[in-house]
Amino acid sequence: MSKRMIEKKKEEVKTISPLVETRDLKVITAKTGNLYASVNVIAKRSNQINAKIKEELHKKLEEFASTTDNLEEVFENREQIEISRFYEKMPKPVLIALNEFMNDELYFRPIEEQAK
């Protein structure tokens, strides 16, 4: 993904509510024809998103890692705090995945097709 696409995706994520909302199961089921298949697609995408977020966060926080583990040298870093706050305020990966699923932004194939 290009840097521009990543920034665009981050802006879209900011518009997703971090609060859990009730959803109509009939609408979720209609996308695949099976509720459990829909939940499986959402769960797999959620795991992918979680892995990306975790990797991105670790890369950003590596910059602040100290080579020595001396408690006296630990100090408050404003930038590090801001990065942590941003990730804490983000919606959970499952909410991002559900939003992508409901907006038809995910590509998935039925399990029967994957076996071929």
In 1-116, which ranges are E strands? none
What pLDDT, on the 0 to 100 scale, is given for residue 6?
Answer: 58
**Residue 70 zone, left/alpha/beta (φ > 0; ψ -120 to 50; rest):** beta
How large is the angle between the packed helices 93-102 and 35-62, nearest 10 degrees? 130
Phi, psi of 88 (to 5 degrees): -70, -35
The answer to whether residues 87 and 96 touch, using CB atoms and an 8 Å cutoff, is: no
What pLDDT, on the 0 to 100 scale, is given for residue 1?
Answer: 47
Phi, psi of 106 (to 5 degrees): -110, 140
Phi, psi of 51 (to 5 degrees): -65, -40
Distance from C-alpha of 48 to C-alpha of 101, rounded to nearest angstrom: 13
Tell me which of 38 and 77 has the higher pLDDT. 38
What pLDDT, on the 0 to 100 scale, is given for residue 15?
Answer: 75
Distance from C-alpha of 61 to C-alpha of 64, rounded to nearest angstrom: 5
What are 81-114's pLDDT values in tens digits?
Answer: 888 888 888 889 999 999 999 999 988 887 675 5
What are 42-92's pLDDT values in tens digits?
Answer: 999 999 999 999 998 888 888 776 665 555 555 567 778 888 888 888 889
